[in-house]
Amino acid sequence: MGFSFPPHPAELVKVSASLERVNSSVQERDPHVLPDFDSKSLTKSTSPVLYLPPLLSSLPHTLPPAIIVQSDYPPLVTETRLPDIDPASLSLHKALHHFHPVTSLYAETDYADAFNWSELELPENEERDWYCVVFRSKRKADSDGGPLYDADKKAHEEAVLNGGLIMYWYGAPDPNSGMNLATCIWQSRKHAIAANSRPHHLRAMKLAAASYEIYTLERYKLQKLQGEKGVSIQPFEGGEVGW
């Protein structure tokens, strides 16, 4: 979508003010606290939710003893049972505290252009790929959201316990189009597949098919190259991503 002429300055002010409200509301929320995805809280939500697992997705307690990971963001020291956390993923975790959309029309904008990827910086000597999943959706006007929200809540808790989840971001439905966007960043495609095959996630997917007028899935690769500070969004073209 484009313009044949520059938008009126008043419209630019409206868009800028809308984005400022959206991003400030997200910053006020502790991103390490698991969101409450019950039907009452989500139906009243008008702001996106950024969730960054404070443990960077702990694995089952039967794995080797915990290690301590230092972070520049609260909590200052976090415990994780992941024996194989890599420095690049920890750097990404820190950078994603500043993650936000750059347009209020993020649900209808290309993934690479919808968020502030160009502002996220990692150490130059690090190199890695991560797996991104994007859900674009529009609820049916007469759908009963209660069972779906409850299933979503259990599916998200299940995904965190599964391991490998670096970020979850959930938008708010556009007041005009009704479109919305949610996205996850995983340490690897294998982690995402494992989470998506669990029972609560499968039930949520079945309920979504009956509750949404539009529900599409997109896959991308978040790439960080050695010698560069920035990251970029690349199309997923098959194969494994991450490790």
Domain boundaries, the chain: 9-235
pLDDT digits (tens, 9 = 90+) for 212-226: 888 899 999 999 999
The reply to whether CATH 3.30.70.100 applies to domain 9-235 is yes
CA–CA separation, 185 vs 147, rounded Å? 25
Q: What is the pLDDT of residue 150?
A: 67
Of 19-23, 45-49, 182-186, the least confident: 19-23
- Beta carbons within 10 angstroms of residue 123's beta carbon: 12
Average pLDDT, the chain: 74
Is the confidence at residue 33, as pLDDT, over 70?
yes
How would residue 198 be classed by pLDDT, with cut points 50, 70 and 90? low
Token code pair at residue 97: 């505290």
Of 105-109, 145-149, 150-154, the least confident: 145-149
Q: What is the pLDDT of residue 233?
A: 98
Residues 6+ apart with CB under 8 A from 188: 130, 131, 164, 240, 241, 242, 243
Q: What is the pLDDT of residue 212?
A: 80
Is the confidence at residue 232, as pLDDT, over 80?
yes
